[in-house]
Structure 1
């Protein structure tokens, strides 16, 4: 009995035969090679780079033989971020961060490329010859093996051209990735991701196509009348552009990541015999000309054909056919109406006429199956050239997390998905940067201290020794939390008061070993105490003082009864070195080295002087084993004598710590205090410190908000900026009129300038965050969002009322910061 049922099995209609030697073979003997495509990240590509990418695609497509189909397929699937909250090693703040982002929706992007070799006859077939319309598909044998070999050679050339572009990479898909469980074919027939791709019923009706519960909505660009008057590889994204900068996206970006729904964007190029196509058009033009007297439309069509032919011949362009479509879906009919409108409006943003296809949805869905592009109906395509057709390729992907185990958690500025970003180790390993030092610039209120809290907290939790020099109590909350969590073993907060001033002993070492670097740092400190900013230091003065330090060190090493501190050094200079200087055969004139002036100037730091506490500490601060230390010196930031000395000695103490901790990451953060050491006398010290840090697995971070100080200080440029390969900038809109100077000073490219000026231009109103730009070595840069949980916010906040509320609550709970934060979050 004949089966009259309209139902059939997927197996009966399935057009693919096998996957052999990395190629998909169809039952009609078409050969397809499949690739995964890695595209550059969104908002990180300039107009010139889009031109380069477009040119690479153009060169690659031209090496393919006639009767080849290039099918680029971009998948955009709505997913939810899955937090790993159950990890035992997560801290209180890390767990709150993960909880805050758990189930955060975002749009995941995967891109694939299929190169299909077919025949002239297959490429000319229309929709009524689709495999969907044929009763039985009898597998054909591949007869011309030589053609296949030439095709595979051209595919290898194609792959090499794209990979050599430096912006896009192609990775050949394996057999398992294509046809195994959870593979590409299974994903296509379920419209689900890799993790959950069970096959479901497929309903290919004339009016509606359903995959399981999902109803398809298809928009096509298949007629030249629907296209814009002009196309280009890129377009200006107004939402992140200013009158001084351009944010560029690919021409097809509106139907890519900017279309926030589940969808697939198919881009197909049909490479035929160009010469034969042009001959057909010549014949058609003659027919139109002869029929022109009967119809004005024939005259107009003749003009269009002649223009097409003129461009093809004059510019040597290749005639091809092209088709583009957006397949979107939803299991809710009301939502599908919104999706339909969204897709149409995004196509309109490209200057295209949205055409909702309701007739050929099943045929086009079937033809866009990976490996089945040769089954595409020819009437659904339009004639064009390779160059304009490639402008419809989407050329960017969403932000990718770093593969490095070390890094910080930021968020995607478009969707808010958490990202793991390494700005220290991996860039160093790849040669993008040569040091881990960082320079942070952001005006007041830009979220600078907030971002730094977020950064140092994560560095600390990954084993870093952090030493902070602060002038505004920005890290008090975080330090208090660490102090409480470690039961006082860590999170040490030093602050200067009249009753308990900060004191040091720069001459102390526990083993009486003074290397060259230690001697140089002591000499630099003494020169800073002695000379004012305006006075120049002569070679004789530097040399004599270095000799005096060396002689004093020899004395305390040979006589352990002498207590190493500034008092005994001062006495040595007065009672031993000065007489020795006077009795030399070769006299040292006072104009060359005035030791009396030195002793008079430094008398205030000697016993009985007004600052005698500063350099004669009898208890040495344990910087070696404390992993989080904050020096709050806000009380003396206006003191021109104390402030520079305290800052320098803190940094010198950090260098001591740095030398002795082998294989441990160290981090020195200096906030506005850098101005105290940005004098001509300190230039050598700063250069030395920045270069030394790099050698000992350390990094120095300078944070500032005063752009005028940067612009006016050559010391900062020479010592800090030039030795900081990582630059971090926050919202610069306050400095818009001065930004050209900042750009020149920091050596920023036009691409980096455009990214920086786009900060906070289009923030999502339903998320609370501020954006930050991170540039690495002048070659890699992006804008990220600093978004945190409510718990982290209360810990980091620098708003006085909020900070007081947290600290008072903690005080009422015997210093329990964690409990105080929890109570305030839940109130």
Structure 2
């Protein structure tokens, strides 16, 4: 059967003539400047910021001349995550993470802005005058040579206003971006194929009254083209109930339901038509008089007159220019059944905005054609409605999906909405941009909030990127990961220390491999001895500080001239003999420095004392080259003497790394052990660590789960929180009633509070994950998902039965923890129901 339908080539119908000066020129002499728009991330914008964005758009649009069309086009395309499994140097757990997210669907977002200068006649054309309805398109010449120059000046002002807002940014598209090159298609081809894959091939385009078909894809188009379809009131933002509480509000833009929250392939077109406002108002005055004259014949005429007069009163009272607006959602699918579902989903999304969904079939073809980049002048005038700029802007989509950091260093997390992997740099790029001034981190999360999973996930990725990691743990949270590291490095790395009476942690505070005693080493020794000597509530006098400093300096000088081995025993003997003579020569009074009391207090750590093993180790641990070290001190966490001393021993190991490893990233993570070193007598030590570590390319991280610890301890605030520019909080709903105190202590804004309280409130039941809030420098913050593969779960788990299962199988396999994890993961996947 012969096909009798009329057809034409795209070239003959294409309303665009050329791209010159990075502007699209249409055959009707319209000029269009094209921009890529960068919007803030979803769930990260506060109400005041939405108002600021709205105000910036308003100011920018007011700079544009009459007969300009503002066309904002948001693309939302369903994509699938495709990892680079052939990447070199990727670890076993890193590859497991990539495989876990393989083919994970997510919605990608692209936002464009087209500013089109057209003519009064073109803006009045209706759908039957579209270029689709003309047999031949003959290029016209622009009548006014100055109008193009003035328009481009206004475009430059428009761009500068939005970029200066700091919340929205525009980037001018080049001719190559619009037209493409030999390797990749441009924006025009993307639109004509409804694809961003980079391999889009032009297919048949069927534009009919019943359906619009692009290749195999059929369009479903809903419009907002009548004021009666809109809600009674609009605002720049709306409350997102799923992530809001009675104490906090999660805000999204008013149009968010037809943005990222509409999970299908669709384009959201937003138009504002800048007519001559005076002409519009004169026409409304004329219509009002006509309605008044006909009011006696119909009540509807009286009502229409009242509405027109209210519109005129608003325009004249506030000086608002009269404009037209239009919004439409174009969704598509190649499956007829799915297309029906898309129609329902889009209608529901518009209903969530309290709009009346109208499925438009009559003008679908002309609306699709007019939405082509650079062809807004073809928009049918009858599809717009009269309004003002401010209410029209409320229907703009104002947020985008989460973006990965451009930095090569960072950690992998997941988007909280779609679960797609994202790359976050919490250290280097924020430092470079001045968002933070140090890399230190403070982590707060109650038991069961996923704290250990997040910290395992973070330190594992730091280690794999070359960092030296030292962990101080009080609950075997990192044993599995440490054993895996040891297994993979054949024992060269992954050192796990745990305190037992048979094999206690011990060291020599006076030992240095290179014989150098710089200021950091001296201060470390003095802090340790001061801790042994004084109680928490017994600060030393100035005379005692000087005496102790002189004693340490004198013993160090003795070491340099004496070939004997340095140690705490030697220091004790030096103070009791030689330093005693020094004090007598200086006539230091006993009330200024009680030497007998000093020696008596330190005697338990001297040869033959109860704790003589702690500070007199003859085995010098070579931990400088070990990149993954865990000190597990749960057995002594309640011991008033051993706990603080062993903690400082561990600090000495890290400070040695900090001083000697030049240009190497160093990380120390302290779990509940920080309580011991945050007491009055040792506050200076932790202050020194947190203030100094940044100078040595290092990070100090503290982790706690008790909210009272941070509320009641001023030392924590002064030494830890104030010197931690990165704050990480997990599920705080247990502390809902105490959160005002936490907010004040951490200096969180109301926006950050709302983000924290939204954690885990709307988790997807199809994925297993916990959410975490990350704030940087008080200026950037967002909630992310900690989602890991089954292999990572087995490496991170703190469940004793699961850890024992892994370790038992690893023992059977000759200590190969990786192989044990592989086998257990494979077995569990087989057991899962399909």
Q: Report the equivalent of 1:691.
A: 691
**What's the CA shift string for 1:230-253, capped at 9, x where partnerless?**
000000111111111111100000
Q: Is the 8 A contact 2:743 2:753 kept in 1?
A: yes
1:685 Cα deviation from its structure 2 partner = 1.0
Q: Is the 8 A contact 1:255 1:326 kept in 2?
A: yes
Matching of residue 557 in structure 1 with residue 560 in structure 2: yes
> 1:257-268 to 2 correspondence within 5 Å?
257-268=260-271
Matching of residue 457 in structure 1 with residue 460 in structure 2: yes
SS in 2 for 1:434: coil
Q: Report the equivalent of 1:139.
A: 139
SS in 2 for 1:323: strand
Query: C-alpha distance in 1, partners of 2:4/2:44?
Result: 57
SS in 2 for 1:647: helix
Query: C-alpha distance in 2, partners of 1:590/1:768?
Result: 66
Query: C-alpha distance in 2, partners of 1:265/1:727?
Result: 36
Query: C-alpha distance in 2, partners of 1:533/1:427?
Result: 37
1:194 Cα deviation from its structure 2 partner = 4.3
Q: Report the equivalent of 1:199.
A: 202
> 1:363-382 to 2 correspondence within 5 Å?
363-382=366-385
Q: Report the equivalent of 2:18.
A: 18
Q: Report the equivalent of 1:577.
A: 579
Shifted more, 4-13 versus 324-333: the winner is: 4-13
Q: Report the equivalent of 2:102.
A: 102
Query: C-alpha distance in 2, partners of 1:187/1:596?
Result: 85
Matching of residue 310 in structure 1 with residue 309 in structure 2: no
Q: Report the equivalent of 1:626.
A: 626
Query: C-alpha distance in 2, partners of 1:768/1:252?
Result: 29
Give the TM-score, by structure 2 length.
0.98
**What's the CA shift string for 1:120-164, capped at 9, x where partnerless?**
000000000000000001000122110110000000000000000
> 1:323-402 to 2 correspondence within 5 Å?
323-402=326-405
Q: Report the equivalent of 1:588.
A: 588
SS in 2 for 1:89: coil
SS in 2 for 1:775: strand
Q: Is the 8 A contact 1:683 1:719 kept in 2?
A: yes
Q: Is the 8 A contact 1:183 1:194 kept in 2?
A: no
Matching of residue 782 in structure 1 with residue 782 in structure 2: yes
1:205 Cα deviation from its structure 2 partner = 1.4
Query: C-alpha distance in 1, partners of 2:600/2:678?
Result: 25
> 1:524-535 to 2 correspondence within 5 Å?
524-535=527-538
> 1:698-709 to 2 correspondence within 5 Å?
698-709=698-709
Unaligned runs of 5+ in 1: none
Query: C-alpha distance in 2, partners of 1:420/1:300?
Result: 57
Q: Report the equivalent of 1:672.
A: 672
1:690 Cα deviation from its structure 2 partner = 1.1
Query: C-alpha distance in 1, partners of 2:590/2:414?
Result: 62
Query: C-alpha distance in 2, partners of 1:595/1:265?
Result: 81
Q: Report the equivalent of 1:644.
A: 644
Query: C-alpha distance in 1, partners of 2:591/2:635?
Result: 37
2:446 is matched with which residue: 440, 443, 446? Answer: 443
Q: Is the 8 A contact 1:752 1:781 kept in 2?
A: yes
Query: C-alpha distance in 2, partners of 1:349/1:283?
Result: 37
1:5 Cα deviation from its structure 2 partner = 5.2
Q: Is the 8 A contact 1:182 1:194 kept in 2?
A: no
SS in 2 for 1:269: strand
**What's the CA shift string for 1:12-33, capped at 9, x where partnerless?**
1110000001110000000000
Query: C-alpha distance in 1, partners of 2:797/2:545?
Result: 45
SS in 1 for 2:362: coil
Query: C-alpha distance in 2, partners of 1:114/1:173?
Result: 10
Q: Report the equivalent of 1:83.
A: 83
**What's the CA shift string for 1:761-811, capped at 9, x where partnerless?**
100000000001111111111111000100000000111121111111112
Q: Report the equivalent of 2:509.
A: 506
Q: Report the equivalent of 1:295.
A: 298
SS in 2 for 1:781: strand
Matching of residue 496 in structure 1 with residue 485 in structure 2: no
> 1:458-497 to 2 correspondence within 5 Å?
458-497=461-500
Q: Report the equivalent of 1:713.
A: 713
1:88 Cα deviation from its structure 2 partner = 2.8
> 1:232-311 to 2 correspondence within 5 Å?
232-311=235-314
SS in 2 for 1:17: strand
SS in 2 for 1:294: coil
1:581 Cα deviation from its structure 2 partner = 1.1
Query: C-alpha distance in 1, partners of 2:43/2:546?
Result: 53
Q: Report the equivalent of 2:607.
A: 607
Q: Report the equivalent of 1:732.
A: 732
Q: Is the 8 A contact 1:47 1:234 kept in 2?
A: yes
2:424 is matched with which residue: 410, 421, 431? Answer: 421
1:678 Cα deviation from its structure 2 partner = 1.0
Q: Is the 8 A contact 1:470 1:633 kept in 2?
A: yes
SS in 2 for 1:414: coil
Give the TM-score, by structure 1 length.
0.99
**What's the CA shift string for 1:172-212, capped at 9, x where partnerless?**
00111111251111011111114221111111111011000
SS in 2 for 1:401: coil
1:462 Cα deviation from its structure 2 partner = 0.3
Q: Report the equivalent of 1:791.
A: 791
**What's the CA shift string for 1:681-727, capped at 9, x where partnerless?**
11111111111111100010001101111111111111111111111
Q: Is the 8 A contact 2:506 2:649 kept in 1?
A: no
Aligned length: 822
SS in 2 for 1:489: coil
**What's the CA shift string for 1:454-513, capped at 9, x where partnerless?**
000000000000001100000000000000100000000011111111111110012221
Query: C-alpha distance in 1, partners of 2:76/2:5?
Result: 36
1:567 is matched with which residue: 569, 579, 596? Answer: 569
1:566 Cα deviation from its structure 2 partner = 0.5
SS in 2 for 1:94: helix
Query: C-alpha distance in 2, partners of 1:756/1:196?
Result: 41
Unaligned runs of 5+ in 2: 828-834
1:254 Cα deviation from its structure 2 partner = 0.4
Query: C-alpha distance in 1, partners of 2:557/2:211?
Result: 92
SS in 2 for 1:132: helix
SS in 2 for 1:112: strand
